[in-house]
Amino acid sequence: MSELLALLTGSLLAGGALALAHGLRRRPHGEAVRPRLGLRTRWARLTRRPPGRAGRRRDLLLLAGVALGAVGYLVTGIPLTLLLVPAAVVGLPWLLAEPVNRDLELLRALDRWVRTMTATLQTGQSVPDALRASVRQAPDLLADDLRLVAARLDDRWTVREALLAMADSLDSPDADTVLAALVLASERGGTGVATTLRELSEASQDRLRSMREVEVERAKPRIVVRQVTVITVVVLGVALVVVRDFFSPYATPLGQALLAALLAAYAASLVWLRRLTVPPRRERILTAEPLR
């Protein structure tokens, strides 16, 4: 306890000395005064805090981790817990969470949009008019891009230019397939575009089913690792209270180095598992070369 108080006292004294030196420093008379950043802004920049609710949740986790790390240090006497516990509290939820499958979410949105476009084109509307009309019923993932397409069409962009720009924004081979069909249909007078989109929708349904099956299989090892990690953390927490002498070797410098190496290896295995369960990136269909 005395070591922790001495550490805190030394840190406060050093910080006070630095603040005093900064306040006594002379500045030229005409030097422009930079706008002062608030503590919250500085903290967000320093820690790369995500905006909104995610940032508040991250800060609460970090605060809880610091508190638990201080408790762990007082119980075990291992200084490394002051760093490892906050890192684990913040990092483990991210490593063990289900990664967002953007390809799956985008394919769902594209399938809904294609069905809307098919119904609109069957009424006899042209491709540009159908694109403008689809903005009202666009999925959330495509709404901003479709609004931009409609605005570009109103600014006298061609359908090809507007859709190719949308393809670059979405950056997905699934989106390229749909948008390429619309580009070709618009240049050929819309002949057969409804039939083409209907077939694309059926193909998207088949791909969605296969992707869901793959996601179920990918989730199984993540569930097992999550369960093992939770059990391990609970057992270690109980051991800290029941058998404190078990952790006494890790209070030495060599023990702390060994502990850091073991935990780093475990964290690296979790990162590797997360990368293995993330779908590989596929090559796009639309490139800088013009469609023919």
Domain assignment of residue 95, yes or no: no
Report yes or no on 222 lying in a domain.
no
What would the 3-class secondary structure string for the chain be?
CHHHHHHHHHHHHHHHHHHHHHHHCCCCCCCCCCCCCCHHHHHHHHHCCCCHHHHHHHHHHHHHHHHHHHHHHHHHCCCCHHHHHHHHHHHHHHHHCCCCCHHHHHHHHHHHHHHHHHHHHCCCCCHHHHHHHHCCCCCHHHHHHHHHHHHHHHCCCCHHHHHHHHHHHHCCHHHHHHHHHHHHHHHCCCCCHHHHHHHHHHHHHHHHHHHHHHHHHHHHHHHHHHHHHHHHHHHHHHHHHHCHHHHHHHHCHHHHHHHHHHHHHHHHHHHHHHHHCCCCCCCCCCCCCCCC
State the pLDDT at residue 73: 78
pLDDT of residue 43: 56
- In this predicted structure, what is the pLDDT of residue 6? 43
Contact call for residues 176 and 291 (beta carbons, < 8 A) = no
In this predicted structure, what is the pLDDT of residue 117?
A: 85
- Is 28 within the bounds of a domain? no
Please tell me the predicted confidence (pLDDT) of residue 54. 65
SS3 of 58-107: the string is HHHHHHHHHHHHHHHHHHHCCCCHHHHHHHHHHHHHHHHCCCCCHHHHHH
Residue 147: predicted pLDDT: 92
Radius of gyration of the chain (CA): 28
Per residue of the chain (292 residues), give pLDDT as tens: 455 444 444 445 445 544 544 555 555 444 444 555 555 566 556 555 666 666 677 777 778 778 887 877 787 777 888 888 888 887 888 888 777 788 888 888 988 898 888 888 888 778 888 888 888 888 888 999 999 999 998 898 988 889 899 988 888 888 888 888 888 877 776 556 777 778 888 888 888 888 888 888 888 888 888 888 888 888 887 887 777 777 778 778 888 888 888 888 888 888 888 887 777 777 887 765 544 4
> Is 175 inside any structural domain?
yes
Residues with Cβ within 8 Å of 112's Cβ and at least 6 positions away in sequence, in order, are: 139
For 216-243, write each residue's pLDDT tens digit: 888 888 888 888 888 888 888 788 777 7
The enclosing domain of 111 has a CATH number of 1.20.81
Residue 290 is predicted with a pLDDT of: 47
Nearest 5°: phi and psi at 163?
-75, -35
Boundaries of domain holding 138: 102-215
- 87 inside domain: no
- Domain tally, the chain: 1
Residue 15 in domain: no
pTM: 0.64
